[in-house]
Amino acid sequence: MKIVLWTALCGLCAVAGHVLLGVVAAFLLLACVPVRREAGRGAAERELITTRG
């Protein structure tokens, strides 16, 4: 339900021309969507990610 409301808010803001509010709403929408991690990363890639901080 939350995602539907944020999607509607993004569309409403885009139609109304409120770009900044639309960006904030899109960011909040993306925050609601769970992030999928790619399976099968190589050890070298994992090491690069962890050493960068």
If one compares 48 and 1, the residue with the highest pLDDT of the two is: 1
Unique residue bearing structure tokens 């409120």:
18
In the numeric block, which tokens belong to residue 32? Answer: 């609601």
> What's the pLDDT at 30?
81
- The whole model's pTM is what? 0.37
Q: Which domain holds residue 26?
A: 2-52
Number of domains in the chain: 1
3-state secondary structure the chain: CHHHHHHHHHHHHHHHCCHHHHHHHHHHHHHHCCCCCCCCCCHHHHHHHHHHC
For residue 44, pLDDT beyond 70? no
Which pLDDT value is given to residue 12? 78
pLDDT in tens, 3-42: 788 788 878 777 777 777 777 878 888 887 776 665 555 5
